[in-house]
Structure 1
Amino acid sequence: MASEFDVIARYFTRPAPEGTLGVGDDCALFSVPAGMQIATSKDLLIQGRHFYPNVDPEALGHKALAVNLSDLAAMGAKPLGCLLGLALPNVDESWLAAFARGFHALADAHGCPLIGGDTTRSVQDLTISVTVFGAVAAQPALRRDGARVGDHIWVSGALGAADIAYRLLDAQLPTDDSLLAATRRALEWPTPRVELGLALAGLAHAAIDISDGLVQDLGHVLSASRVGAQLQFDALPVADALQDLDHDTLVRAVLGGGDVYELCFTAAAENDDHVRRAAARVGVPVTRIGHVTEAGGLQVFAADGRPMSALPRGFDHFPGS
């Protein structure tokens, strides 16, 4: 059986970029471009909570890094490198090879090399920890507290598919193999919007990735910025596979569904065309879904013009605590 150090050498040691000290020393070393700050984020993925034991390991490697790159995207940060922590119940070399393949492919695509981490044996099940580092200009870094009254609110991509896939896999919805097949990739192979975040720097006023649901995460922006918002439900970009869902299931998936990893951002109304051109340059669809108001709170209006009541909450690891 491969030792801890064999695992690191075979699957997680690659040549470091010039000027960087990567895997193999007590610390990694990397430089930050002059005049920029470090942006960093960490996410944990725990078996049984964030993924199922039978998940495709290549997809899991991809997602483990993607969820962190999404945080850099929300700040308009350029990736610099990442750290990986793995607590493994055993050494399965075919599993490790596939996991590493998915992880490194996304790292290469975004210039975010693996430069260090830790590997250990877990008592039970698998736990994954990833930390990412990026570089961002101090001004104008994208933050949650920059939304301004009158801003238009935008969202990238399409909403709801990942939530439906999760709920199908978790038996919260009746079995529907065709619907699962149409939504599962959104859950297991999310696309971090790094290029869009970079394109929005200096254009958007505030941004957040909506990994815990549109209502909840946009609410964080509104709270930090001390403003309110109005959204039009019919304007929301719903994933094509969800068109035949009943209304209540659709509302929960689109407004409250997590694991989205799209960006929600605000920008001055007069910059609508600039936003569309910036998004088109990087090949990411964006949709204007509402506007920022002076009054606090979030209202979502139905097609008949009436405000929707009892908006779904997003994901919370400790609800009610």
Structure 2
Amino acid sequence: MEFSLIDRIRQLTAQHRDDVRLGIGDDAALLVVPPGQELAVAIDTMVAGVHFPVGTAATDVGWKALAVNLSDLAAMGATPAWALLALSMPGADTAFVDGFAQGFAQLAQSYRLALVGGDTTRGALTISVAVHGFVPPGKALMRTGAQAGDAVLVTGTLGDAAAGLQCVQRNHPRDEAQARYLIERLNRPTPRVAAGLALRGHASACIDVSDGLLADLGHICASSHVGADIEAALLPRSSALLDLFDDTTSRDLALSGGDDYELCFTVPAQHVAAVQADLAKLGCGATRIGRVVQGEGVRVRDREGHWLESGHQGWDHFNA
């Protein structure tokens, strides 16, 4: 049964690439890194009940399992190429595998990403995906280059996915357009790959917002040995989020909610307008929300100009 499931995944995710010498079906894949490119590699694991609610549609699980990894490549300014998949399930659920593979393939096809191998086993529903992408030498975006005086920007809107999770947990009516939008943002995040490519040579530092803006911008600050001041009034929030949640709650979700997989990045102040124009053409836009300062950590100022007390800083798997 295991091999028939593997064959189903292979059929549903088939994607031809000339740089794949040998894909699914042997003990290892044989892959060719193009000349003049560095290989960017990332891996993420999703566990049912932790990274997605139990009962989430298999197609959405497949999409998200790949999306969260493509987001890591986006944050590095890398072009996606290959993926490996490790899938654990309580039983040989063909219907789940078909739905999962279809959702995975739907997103993979957008980037001509080839699934080149992996593993299936019996256990709690757990999905690990490793992605590989290409970036020209010296062009990768990293967390280490932010400097005092740089502007802090984010793509898209923040807080939607965390709000979508609350809609699911509270059994919010799914026929309400705002709830549908927020739940879709939770289940099917958009990896900002094109934005990451556009930021090469312009952003001084970059990270994807997976654990919450405060936590992830904090990683940039720690790696770059700087601090950051954020203006809460500038946080980009969707109309759906603002319609269903009050200003304080929506602000807190935008700061700490996580799971949005937008890009947070820093840019020298003189390049902000040009970068915003470039990302506007891509459809995701970019909002300036603060600036890099000397010091350490992230501070947030409210609409009245008062510094907010630091509370929940974002998701931590080992901190209940």
Band the TM-score falls in, shorter-chain normalisation: over 0.9
The DSSP-based 3-state class of the residue aligned with 2:69 is helix
Segments ≥4 residues shifted beyond 6 Å: none
- Segment of structure 1 superposing worse, 287-296 or 200-209: 287-296
Deviations 1:254-293 (A, max 9, x none): 1000111000000111111220232133222111111111
- Segment of structure 1 superposing worse, 301-310 or 112-121: 301-310
How far apart, CA to CA, are the structure 1 residues paired with 2:198 and 2:259? 23
The DSSP-based 3-state class of the residue aligned with 2:30 is coil
Contact 2:74 2:196 in 1 (8 A): yes
Segments of 5+ residues of structure 2 without an aligned counterpart are none
> In structure 2, what is the equivalent of residue 199 of structure 1?
198
How far apart, CA to CA, are the structure 2 residues paired with 1:15 and 1:156? 29
Determine if the alignment matches structure 1 residue 144 to structure 2 residue 140: no
Contact 1:16 1:22 in 2 (8 A): no
TM-score for the superposition, normalised by structure 2: 0.93
Q: Which residue identity is paired with 2:52?
A: F
Contact 1:43 1:131 in 2 (8 A): yes
> In structure 1, what is the equivalent of residue 5 of structure 2?
7
Contact 1:255 1:311 in 2 (8 A): no
TM-score for the superposition, normalised by structure 1: 0.93
How far apart, CA to CA, are the structure 1 residues paired with 2:299 and 2:122? 48
Deviations 1:208-244 (A, max 9, x none): 0010000010000001000111111111101211214
The DSSP-based 3-state class of the residue aligned with 2:204 is strand
Determine if the alignment matches structure 1 residue 133 to structure 2 residue 132: yes
Identity of aligned residues (%): 43
> In structure 1, what is the equivalent of residue 265 of structure 2?
265
How far apart, CA to CA, are the structure 1 residues paired with 2:84 and 2:211? 23
> In structure 1, what is the equivalent of residue 52 of structure 2?
51
The DSSP-based 3-state class of the residue aligned with 2:121 is strand
Segments of 5+ residues of structure 1 without an aligned counterpart are none
Aligned residues: 314
The DSSP-based 3-state class of the residue aligned with 1:33 is coil
Deviations 1:67-115 (A, max 9, x none): 0000000000111100011112122222221211110111110121101
Please provide the CA RMSD for this pair: 1.6
> In structure 2, what is the equivalent of residue 230 of structure 1?
229
Contact 2:167 2:183 in 1 (8 A): no
- Segment of structure 1 superposing worse, 187-196 or 281-290: 281-290
| Residue 10 of structure 1: how far off its partner (Å) | 2.0
Q: Which residue identity is paired with 1:10?
A: R
- Relative to 1, partners in 2 of residues 1:15 and 1:253: Cα closer, same or farther, differing over 3 Å? closer
How far apart, CA to CA, are the structure 1 residues paired with 2:78 and 2:15? 23
Q: Which residue identity is paired with 1:197?
A: G
The DSSP-based 3-state class of the residue aligned with 1:243 is helix
- Segment of structure 1 superposing worse, 252-261 or 278-287: 278-287
Q: Which residue identity is paired with 1:106?
A: L
| Residue 175 of structure 1: how far off its partner (Å) | 4.5
Determine if the alignment matches structure 1 residue 188 to structure 2 residue 150: no
Equivalent runs, 1:117-128 vs 2, <5 Å:
117-122=118-123, 125-128=124-127
Deviations 1:145-167 (A, max 9, x none): 11111111110001111101112
Q: Which residue identity is paired with 2:260?
A: V
- Relative to 1, partners in 2 of residues 1:113 and 1:296: Cα closer, same or farther, differing over 3 Å? same
